[in-house]
């Protein structure tokens, strides 16, 4: 019990006190005393024998300590605490609360009030344009109410049962498609093999969606998006991406905020998968990814609205935007990014993130001195930002032809990558691959070998065959051509 109480905020602890003291929810004075004791040592309640003995003494005074008795009090208080958590959640979901209210009104035969609540819920459903899983589930519940509330005198039960069956289909199809897309991502993408588990209805669901896709396009937008997510993730085929983009442009005025944001997330994941996993032509992937970033971060306000609700941007989102922009040499575009989203960078890496963005913008514009100043101001605090900024440092120093300082930077980065135990396996591989190819490039560049072009071509082929895309690859490609 102690670990649960320690997790409560002071406000929640005060509310729990009122809940425990209310005879409506608790009729046991022992629980009030137990709570008063726990409150006296909150927020550093220890789950040990001393706490139990002290609680026993507080509740029962000088009575001899009884382990079984205090354990019984604790187990009873846990059940009361569960009821408190349920109480705290009530009011957070109006639809769920209204369903409970309908059930209570139907049981008590309060027909007039029942009809008023039911009609209001039905009208809200009719006005709702976002046909997601919650929408379908609510439709099923409302159709159940029509079938169960005999006093409504529903005559056309057959039609209601048909509508209920269709909504069950929609709900099941959407949930399956969402689960399939998540399973593919969990397994690393590229194939639908992860969906061939015992009892899987993958083939049936995909076949059914294929046959009814035109119907779904007319109003069931979330099903269409989830379907294309499965197709894109499992095949990495750009044709599905292009078709989904076409669907978005044709239907975007009908999309809700949540539908649009979910679509943007799915499109971003796919484009990053293609780029990161070396699937398809790297330059095309990069250009399409930048076009997507320009649309979702600058030309629309979806993410601005999303982050304005107290949410924060992840470091990897910012880093991929910067890397893609640097690779494509998009002058001054990066300045727009922190202007629109900088306020939503996480506090722990915000300063370093802005320095990295400024370094990238200076680098693109050929202002190498200021690029180096900005990148030198970045701390070790965030592993991903420090790693990416060190790679950019290597590019800057090469362009400045400061090869002595570059050797030191490469040596330090190699040591950091080898010895830092906090690096994930993927982060370590990304760093190691960059070092491998940058050192290989430098060896060819500084050599007097007249077969440089052939050596560059060999390095390029090896880079293209990597299972994980080498960071700043387009910079390398431009250098290979010089």
Express each pLDDT in 234-248 by its tens digit: 999 999 999 999 999
pLDDT at 335: 94
pLDDT at 256: 86
pLDDT at 220: 93
| Contact residues for 124 (Cβ-Cβ < 8 A; gap 6+) | none
Q: What angle do CA 399, 402, 408 make, to 5 degrees?
A: 115
| Rounded Cα gap, residues 262 and 178, in angstroms | 11
Is there a contact between 372 and 358 (Cβ–Cβ < 8 Å)?
no
pLDDT at 482: 64
- Coil/strand/helix, residue 215: helix
pLDDT at 227: 97
| Rounded Cα gap, residues 282 and 471, in angstroms | 11
Q: Which residue ranges of the chain lie beneath pLDDT 70?
A: 1-2, 129, 189-192, 482
- Among candidates 338, 334, 321, which has minimal Cα distance to 363? 334
* Residue 380, strand partner residues: none
Is there a contact between 77 and 34 (Cβ–Cβ < 8 Å)?
yes
| Rounded Cα gap, residues 155 and 362, in angstroms | 72
The DSSP H or E segment spanning 434 is: helix 425-446
pLDDT at 200: 84
Cα 95 to Cα 84, 90, 133, distances in angstroms: 20, 11, 13
Cα 224 to Cα 196, 251, 369, 383, distances in angstroms: 22, 11, 49, 38
pLDDT at 266: 95
Chain segment 294-333, per-residue pLDDT in tens: 999 999 888 888 887 778 889 999 999 999 999 999 999 9
C-alpha dihedral sign at 58, 63, 65, 66: negative
Is there a contact between 437 and 463 (Cβ–Cβ < 8 Å)?
yes
pLDDT at 198: 80
Look up residue 85 and give its two tokens. Answer: 């958590």
| Rounded Cα gap, residues 229 and 174, in angstroms | 11
| Rounded Cα gap, residues 33 and 441, in angstroms | 73
- Coil/strand/helix, residue 164: helix
- Among candidates 340, 337, 373, which has minimal Cα distance to 357? 337
pLDDT at 129: 66
pLDDT at 192: 67
**pTM of model > 0.85:** no
């Amino acid at each position: 019990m102690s670990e649960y109480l320690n997790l409560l905020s002071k406000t929640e602890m005060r509310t729990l006190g009122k809940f425990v003291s209310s005879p409506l929810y608790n009729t046991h004075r022992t629980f009030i005393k137990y709570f008063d004791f726990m409150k006296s040592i909150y927020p550093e309640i220890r789950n040990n024998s001393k706490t139990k003995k002290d609680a026993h003494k507080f509740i029962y005074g000088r009575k001899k300590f009884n382990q079984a008795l205090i354990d019984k009090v604790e187990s009873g208080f846990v059940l009361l605490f569960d009821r408190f958590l349920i109480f705290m959640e009530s009011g957070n979901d109006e639809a769920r609360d209204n369903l409970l209210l309908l059930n209570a009104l139907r049981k008590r035969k309060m027909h007039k009030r029942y009809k008023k609540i039911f009609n209001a819920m039905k009208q809200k459903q009719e006005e709702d344009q976002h046909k997601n899983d919650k929408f379908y589930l609510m439709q099923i519940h409302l159709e159940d109410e029509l079938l169960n509330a005999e006093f409504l005198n529903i005559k056309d039960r057959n039609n209601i049962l048909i509508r209920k069956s269709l909504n069950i289909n929609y709900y099941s199809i959407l949930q399956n498609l969402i689960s399939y897309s998540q399973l593919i991502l969990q397994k690393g993408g590229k194939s639908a093999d992860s969906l061939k588990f015992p009892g899987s209805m993958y083939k049936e669901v995909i076949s059914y969606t294929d046959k009814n896709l035109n119907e779904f396009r007319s109003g069931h937008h979330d099903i269409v998006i989830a379907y294309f997510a499965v197709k894109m993730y499992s095949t990495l085929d750009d044709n599905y991406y292009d078709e989904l983009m076409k669907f978005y442009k044709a239907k975007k005025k009908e999309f809700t905020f949540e539908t649009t944001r979910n679509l943007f997330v799915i499109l971003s994941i796919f484009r990053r998968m293609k780029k990161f996993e070396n699937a398809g032509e790297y330059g095309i992937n990069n250009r399409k990814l930048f076009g997507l970033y320009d649309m979702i971060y600058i030309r629309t306000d979806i993410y601005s609205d999303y982050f304005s609700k107290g949410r924060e941007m992840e470091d990897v989102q910012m880093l991929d935007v910067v890397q893609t922009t640097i690779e494509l040499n998009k002058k001054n575009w990066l300045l727009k990014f922190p202007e629109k989203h900088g306020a939503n960078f996480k506090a722990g890496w915000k300063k370093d993130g802005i320095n990295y963005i400024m370094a990238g913008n200076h680098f693109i514009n050929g202002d190498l001195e200021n690029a180096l100043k900005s990148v030198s101001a970045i701390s070790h605090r965030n592993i991903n930002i420090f790693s990416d900024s060190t790679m950019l440092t290597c590019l800057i120093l090469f362009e400045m032809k400061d090869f002595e300082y570059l050797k030191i930077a490469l040596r330090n980065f190699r040591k950091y990558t080898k010895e830092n135990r906090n690096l994930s396996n993927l982060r370590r591989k990304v760093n190691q691959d960059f070092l491998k190819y940058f050192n290989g490039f430098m060896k060819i560049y500084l050599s007097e070998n007249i077969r440089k072009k052939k050596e560059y071509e060999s390095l390029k082929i090896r880079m293209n065959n990597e299972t994980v895309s080498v960071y700043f690859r387009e910079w390398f490609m431009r250098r290979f051509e010089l």
